[in-house]
Amino acid sequence: MKTIIEFEFNEHLKTSQATLEYIAEPLENAANLCIDCLQNSGKILIFGNGGSAADAQHIAAEMVGRYKVERRGLPAIALTTDTSALTSIGNDYGYDQIFNRQVEALANAGDVVIGISTGGSSTNVTNALKLANKLNCKTIGLSGRGGGVMNDICDVNLVVPAEDTPRIQEMHIVIGHTICHLIDLAFKD
Dump pLDDT digits (tens) for 63-105. Answer: 999 999 999 999 999 999 999 999 999 999 999 999 999 999 9
Task: Give the pLDDT confidence score for residue 186 in this predicted structure.
Answer: 97
Pairwise CA distance, residues 6 & 10, whole Å: 6
Q: Is the pLDDT of residue 189 over 90?
A: no
Over residues 145-162, the mean pLDDT reads: 98
Task: Give the pLDDT confidence score for residue 14 in this predicted structure.
Answer: 97
Over residues 117-146, the mean pLDDT reads: 99
Question: Which residues have a Cβ under 8 Å from the Cβ of 59 and sit 6 or more positions away?
Answer: 46, 76, 78, 114, 173, 176, 177, 179, 180
Please report the domains of the chain, with CATH numbers, ordered by start residue: 2-187 (3.40.50.10490)
Task: Give the pLDDT confidence score for residue 95 in this predicted structure.
Answer: 98
The residues that bridge with 44 in the sheet, in sequence order, are: 76, 112
In percent, the amount of the chain with pLDDT more than 70 equals 100
pLDDT category, 180, cuts 50, 70, 90?
Answer: very high
Over residues 125-146, the mean pLDDT reads: 99
Contact 168, 144 (CB under 8 A): yes
Over residues 112-138, the mean pLDDT reads: 99
Contact 132, 113 (CB under 8 A): yes
Pairwise CA distance, residues 46 & 106, whole Å: 12
pLDDT tens digits for 41-65?
999 999 999 999 999 999 999 999 9
Pairwise CA distance, residues 154 & 19, whole Å: 18
User: Residue 157 phi/psi, 5° resolution?
Assistant: -115, 115
Count CB atoms within 10 A of the CB of residue 188. 12
What counts of helices (H) and strands (E) characterise the chain? 7, 5
The residues that bridge with 141 in the sheet, in sequence order, are: 115, 157
Over residues 160-187, the mean pLDDT reads: 98
Question: Which residues have a Cβ under 8 Å from the Cβ of 2 and sit 6 or more positions away?
Answer: none
Task: Give the pLDDT confidence score for residue 6 in this predicted structure.
Answer: 97
Task: Give the pLDDT confidence score for residue 183 in this predicted structure.
Answer: 98
